[in-house]
Amino acid sequence: MDLSAARHAFVTGGASGIGLGIADALARHGISVTIADINEESLDAVIGSRGSGYLGVALDVRDREAWKVAKARAETAFGSVDILVNNAGIGFNGCDVVDMDPATFDMLIAIDLIGVFNGVACFGSEMRARGGAHIVNTASVMGLISGTGGRSAYSAAKSAVVALSEGMRSEMEPHNVGVSVLCPGLVTSNLDQNTATLGGHVRENIQGKDIDHGRGTRAHGMDPATAGDQVARGIAHNLPYIITHPHYLGNIETRMDAIRASVEVTSSPS
C-alpha cells in the first residue's frame, strides 16, 4: 500500500506498547490516527501529548456495539479508515492449560481472537468495497513456533489469528486490500500488567520471559517505535507476515523440522 495515499488509520490497543509505536509510525507518514484503547487513563495521557492528527476513543474490543460507536466517532473526525490495525490483546498468565480457570481462557480468546474478528467485521466489508486499504492483525511469534509450557491458550489464540489473517489475505487480495499478520517477539510494553488486570495473576516464574529461556523482561524488549516502523514498512510492501525479531526464524524452523520428521514416520511402512 502506498502510505502517502492513506488518510486515516484505526489502531486498537494503541495507548501503549506496540500499538502506540504503530500509531506514531503511521502519523509520521502524515496519516491521521484514531487510537482505541480500553485504558481510558492511558488513552487520555497519550492524546493529550499528541497533536490534532490523533483521536482517542475508548473501546473494549469484545463489545460489538462499542465498535460501532468508535467507528462512527473516528469517521466523523477523519473520514473512512484506510488502515485497520487490530492490535489489542492480553498475554499468557503462565498457567498450564489443564489448570486454567475456564473464565480466564474464555477472556483470552474473546480479546485476542474474537476482538480481531470484531474489528474485521466492523470495518472489513467497507474497506473491501472501496479498495486501496490494508488490515494488520496482531498475533505473536508464539503463533508460528512450537508450543511452550504456560502459553498453550495464548498460543492457540495467536495461531488462530495467523490462520484467520492468511485466509483473509486471499479473500481480500482481489479487492485491492492487503492483509498482514504481525508476529512480534519481545517488545517493551505493559502487556503483563494488562493481562493481570483483565485475566488474573501472571506467574512470577514466567512473567515477561522470552521464548529463549529468559532473554529478558518486557521492560527490556524492542523499542515500540522500532516495531512501529517495521509495521509501517510491512504495510507499504504488503507483506503477509511482519516478524519483528529475525532470530525467531530458528524457532520456526524447529517446528517445521518436527512436522517433517512426523510426516516421514507416518508415511513410512510400519
Tell me the pLDDT tens digit for each residue of 129-163.
Answer: 999 999 999 999 999 997 778 899 999 999 999 99
Q: Is 248 a catalytic residue?
A: no
Is it the case that residue 75 has pLDDT exceeding 50?
yes
Residue 139: all three cell numbers together = 498475533
The reported pLDDT for the residue numbered 107 is 94
Is it the case that residue 212 has pLDDT exceeding 60?
no
Number of independent structural domains in the chain: 1
Q: At what angle do helices 17-27 and 224-236 cross, to 10 degrees?
A: 60
CATH number of 77's domain: 3.40.50.720
- Find the domain containing 167 and state its range: 3-267
Is it the case that residue 225 has pLDDT exceeding 80?
yes
Amino acid at 224: P
The reported pLDDT for the residue numbered 195 is 47
The reported pLDDT for the residue numbered 92 is 79
The reported pLDDT for the residue numbered 133 is 98
Under the banding of pLDDT at 50, 70 and 90, the label for residue 255 is: very high
The reported pLDDT for the residue numbered 193 is 54
Average predicted confidence (pLDDT) for the chain: 89
The reported pLDDT for the residue numbered 205 is 37
The reported pLDDT for the residue numbered 211 is 36
Is it the case that residue 226 has pLDDT exceeding 70?
yes
The reported pLDDT for the residue numbered 189 is 66
pLDDT > 90 fraction of the chain, expressed in percent and rounded: 81
Q: What is the pTM of this model?
A: 0.89
135, 127 in Cβ contact below 8 A? yes
Annotated catalytic residue: which of 54, 154, 241, 248? 154
The reported pLDDT for the residue numbered 201 is 45
